[in-house]
Structure 1
Amino acid sequence: MTHPSTLYIFLLILASSLASCSERFTHSVHQVRQPDHIPSQVPDYADSTVTLAAGEHYGRSRLHTFFYGKHYRPAWTTPVEVPVLDIGTAYGGLKPLQMGGSRQTINMRMEDSTGTEYVIRSLDKEPASALPQKLQKSYLADLIRDATSATNPYAPLALPHMAKAIGIHYLEPELVYVPHDPRLGEFMDKMGGTVALMERRPTDNQSDYSPMGNSEQVKSSRSAITERLTDNDSYFDARLFLRSRLFDMLLGDWSRHEDNWRWAETEYDENAYVYEAIPRDRDNIFYKMDDGPVPWLLQRFGVKPNFQSFKKSINASRLEKLNRSGRDLDELILVQLEWQDWQEIADSVQHALTDEVIEQAFSALPDTIAALTAESIISKLKSRRDALPQMARNYYTTLARQVQVVGSDKHEHFEVEVMQNGNVLVQVYKTLKDGEIQKLIYERVFLPSETRLLELYGLSGDDEFIFKSDSAPKLKIKVWGGAGEDKYETNSPKIAPRLHIYDSRYRNTVEVPNKTKIHLNNDQRAQTFNAEGWLLRYYLD
Structure 2
Amino acid sequence: MTKINISVTLILLLFITSCATYSPKYKEETVPLTDTIADRELDKTFFLIGDAGGAKVGETTNTLKALKKYTDSTGSKGDYAIFLGDNIYDSGLPPKDASHRKEAEHRLDVQIEALKDFKGRVLFIPGNHDWYDDGLVGLKRQEEYIEDALNDNESFQPENGCPIENIEVSENIELLVLDTQWYISDWDKHPTMNDECDINSREDFFLEIEGELKKNNGKTIVIAMHHPAYTNGIHGGVYNFQKHIFSTKRKIPLPILGSLVTQIRSQGGVSPQDRYNLRYNELMKRLITMSKSSDKVVFASGHEHNLQYIESEGVKQIVSGSGSKRSAANLGQNGLFSYGGEGFAVLNVFKDGSSEVNFYGAQNGTPNLMFSKNVYEKTPDYDTSLLAEEFGVSREVSVYKKEDTEKSDSYKWFWGDHYRDVYGTNVLVPVATIDTLMGGFTVERKGGGHQTRSLRLIDSRKRNFALRAVKKSATQFLQKAVFKDIYVEDEFEKTITEDVLLDFYTSSHPFATFTIGTLADAIGVYHTNPMMFYMPKHKALGNYNDEFGDELYIIEERPDDGFVDVPSFGSPDGIDSTSDVLENLRKDEKYKIDEPAYIKARLFDMLLGDWDRHQDQWRWSRFDISDDESVYRPIPRDRDQVFSNYDGALLGIIQALVPTTRAFQVYDGDLKNVKWINFSGIKLDRTFTQNTGRDVWLAQAKYIQEHLTDEAIDEAFSKLPIEVQGETSRDISDKLKERRGNIVAIAEEYYNHLSKQVIITGTDKDDFFEITRGDKTTTITVSRIKGGEVKKPFKKRVINASETNEIWVYGLDDDDEFLVNGSGKKPIFTRIIGGQNNDVYTMENGKKIKVYDHKTKPNTIVKKGSASFRFNNIYDNNTYDYNRYISAVNTIVPSVGYNPDDGVKLGIQDVYMTKGFKSDPYESKHTLSLGYFLATEGLDLQYTGEFAKAFGKWNVIVSGRYANESFTQNYFGLGNDTKNFDDDLEMDYNRVKTGIYGGHIGLVKTGHYGSRIAITTGVDKIEVQQTEGRFIASVLPADSKLFESNFFGNVDLDYSYSGSDSKAFPTRGMYFGLRVGATTNLEETKNTFGYIHPSLEFINALSRNRKLVLKTKVQGQFKLGNKFEFYQAAVLGANTGLRGYRTQRFAGNSALAFNADINYKLIQFKTGLLPLQMSLFGGYDVGRVWLKGEDSNTWHTDFGGGLVINAVDTVSGEFGLFGGKEGPRFAFGFLVSL
Question: Deviation string for 1:25-78 (max 9, x for gaps)?
Answer: xxxxxxxxxx99855673265xx1110111126414304333211111100001
TM-score by length of 1: 0.86
Between 1:405-414 and 1:468-477, the stretch displaced more is 468-477
How far apart are 1:425 and its partner, in Å? 1.1
Match of 1:264 among 615, 618, 621: 621
**What is residue 506 of structure 2 aligned with on the other side?**
149
SS at structure 2 position matched to 1:324 = coil
Q: Does the CA-based 8 Å contact 2:835-2:879 persist in structure 1? A: yes
Q: Give the 5 Å matches for 1:381-530.
A: 381-419=736-774, 422-432=776-786, 434-491=787-844, 495-505=845-855, 506-525=857-876, 528-529=878-879
> Using the alignment, how far apart are the partners of 2:553 and 2:391 within structure 1?
20
> Using the alignment, how far apart are the partners of 2:460 and 2:498 within structure 1?
41
Cα 1:36–1:70 shift into 2, 3 Å: farther
> Using the alignment, how far apart are the partners of 2:612 and 2:407 within structure 1?
30
RMSD: 2.2
**What is residue 407 of structure 2 aligned with on the other side?**
61
Match of 2:599 among 217, 242, 248: 242
Q: Does the CA-based 8 Å contact 2:783-2:795 persist in structure 1? A: yes
Between 1:36-45 and 1:176-185, the stretch displaced more is 36-45
Cα 1:189–1:170 shift into 2, 3 Å: same
Amino acid across the alignment from 1:72:
Y
Match of 1:296 among 635, 639, 652: 652
Q: Does the CA-based 8 Å contact 1:58-1:73 persist in structure 2? A: no
**What is residue 306 of structure 1 aligned with on the other side?**
663
Question: Deviation string for 1:270-300 (max 9, x for gaps)?
Answer: 375322111111111111112x211221122
> Using the alignment, how far apart are the partners of 2:501 and 2:641 within structure 1?
15
Aligned: 1:87 with 2:431: no
Q: Does the CA-based 8 Å contact 1:413-1:428 persist in structure 2? A: yes
Q: Does the CA-based 8 Å contact 1:54-1:124 persist in structure 2? A: yes
How far apart are 1:487 and its partner, in Å? 0.8
Match of 1:112 among 459, 471, 482: 459
> Using the alignment, how far apart are the partners of 2:873 and 2:749 within structure 1?
39
Cα 1:277–1:140 shift into 2, 3 Å: same
> Using the alignment, how far apart are the partners of 1:282 and 1:534 within structure 2?
23
> Using the alignment, how far apart are the partners of 2:734 and 2:882 within structure 1?
42
- Higher relative helix content: 1
Cα 1:465–1:474 shift into 2, 3 Å: same
How far apart are 1:372 and its partner, in Å? 4.1
How far apart are 1:514 and its partner, in Å? 4.8
> Using the alignment, how far apart are the partners of 2:660 and 2:836 within structure 1?
39
> Using the alignment, how far apart are the partners of 1:289 and 1:455 within structure 2?
36
Between 1:474-483 and 1:153-162, the stretch displaced more is 474-483
Cα 1:405–1:186 shift into 2, 3 Å: same
Cα 1:268–1:536 shift into 2, 3 Å: farther
How far apart are 1:504 and its partner, in Å? 1.3
SS at structure 1 position matched to 2:528 = coil
Aligned: 1:124 with 2:471: yes
Cα 1:143–1:44 shift into 2, 3 Å: closer
Q: Give the 5 Å matches for 1:162-311.
A: 162-270=519-627, 273-290=630-647, 292-301=648-657, 302=659, 304-311=661-668
Q: Does the CA-based 8 Å contact 2:419-2:508 persist in structure 1? A: yes
> Using the alignment, how far apart are the partners of 2:867 and 2:874 within structure 1?
21
SS at structure 2 position matched to 1:135 = coil
Question: Deviation string for 1:468-507 (max 9, x for gaps)?
Answer: 112314311110001121111033xxx3231111111321
TM-score by length of 2: 0.39
> Using the alignment, how far apart are the partners of 2:795 and 2:601 within structure 1?
22
Amino acid across the alignment from 2:874:
D
Q: Does the CA-based 8 Å contact 1:425-1:446 persist in structure 2? A: yes
Match of 1:158 among 485, 507, 515: 515
> Using the alignment, how far apart are the partners of 1:262 and 1:169 within structure 2?
10
SS at structure 2 position matched to 1:343 = helix
> Using the alignment, how far apart are the partners of 1:40 and 1:135 within structure 2?
30
Aligned: 1:43 with 2:390: yes
Q: Does the CA-based 8 Å contact 1:496-1:512 persist in structure 2? A: no
Q: Does the CA-based 8 Å contact 1:528-1:534 persist in structure 2? A: no
SS at structure 1 position matched to 2:466 = strand
Between 1:399-408 and 1:113-122, the stretch displaced more is 113-122
How far apart are 1:264 and its partner, in Å? 1.3
SS at structure 2 position matched to 1:248 = helix
Q: Does the CA-based 8 Å contact 1:463-1:486 persist in structure 2? A: yes
> Using the alignment, how far apart are the partners of 1:208 and 1:149 within structure 2?
35
How far apart are 1:535 and its partner, in Å? 6.2
Amino acid across the alignment from 2:452:
T
**What is residue 9 of structure 1 aligned with on the other side?**
none
Cα 1:513–1:105 shift into 2, 3 Å: closer
How far apart are 1:439 and its partner, in Å? 2.6
> Using the alignment, how far apart are the partners of 1:408 and 1:37 within structure 2?
55
> Using the alignment, how far apart are the partners of 1:37 and 1:503 within structure 2?
63
Amino acid across the alignment from 2:407:
S
Amino acid across the alignment from 1:126:
S
Q: Does the CA-based 8 Å contact 2:778-2:827 persist in structure 1? A: no
Amino acid across the alignment from 1:359:
D
**What is residue 342 of structure 1 aligned with on the other side?**
697
**Structure 2 stretches of 5 or more lacking a match?**
1-381, 480-487, 887-1234
- The structure number with the bigger radius of gyration is 2
SS at structure 1 position matched to 2:497 = helix
> Using the alignment, how far apart are the partners of 1:193 and 1:38 within structure 2?
16
Question: Deviation string for 1:242-279 (max 9, x for gaps)?
Answer: 11101000001110011111111223333753221111
SS at structure 1 position matched to 2:847 = helix
> Using the alignment, how far apart are the partners of 1:240 and 1:205 within structure 2?
22
How far apart are 1:373 and its partner, in Å? 1.8
**What is residue 448 of structure 2 aligned with on the other side?**
101
Cα 1:202–1:151 shift into 2, 3 Å: same
Amino acid across the alignment from 1:270:
D
Cα 1:397–1:497 shift into 2, 3 Å: same
Question: Deviation string for 1:415-462 (max 9, x for gaps)?
Answer: 01124x631111111222x53223311112111111111110111111
> Using the alignment, how far apart are the partners of 1:373 and 1:156 within structure 2?
15
Q: Which has the higher contact order (CA 8 A, sep 6+)?
A: 1
Q: Give the 5 Å matches for 1:342-381.
A: 342-381=697-736
> Using the alignment, how far apart are the partners of 1:151 and 1:473 within structure 2?
48
**What is residue 12 of structure 1 aligned with on the other side?**
none
SS at structure 1 position matched to 2:413 = helix
Q: Does the CA-based 8 Å contact 2:843-2:867 persist in structure 1? A: no
Q: Does the CA-based 8 Å contact 1:71-1:149 persist in structure 2? A: yes
How far apart are 1:200 and its partner, in Å? 1.5
- Higher relative strand content: 2
> Using the alignment, how far apart are the partners of 2:388 and 2:405 within structure 1?
36
How far apart are 1:167 and its partner, in Å? 0.3
Q: Does the CA-based 8 Å contact 1:262-1:279 persist in structure 2? A: yes
> Using the alignment, how far apart are the partners of 1:510 and 1:294 within structure 2?
57
Report the count of equivalent residues: 491
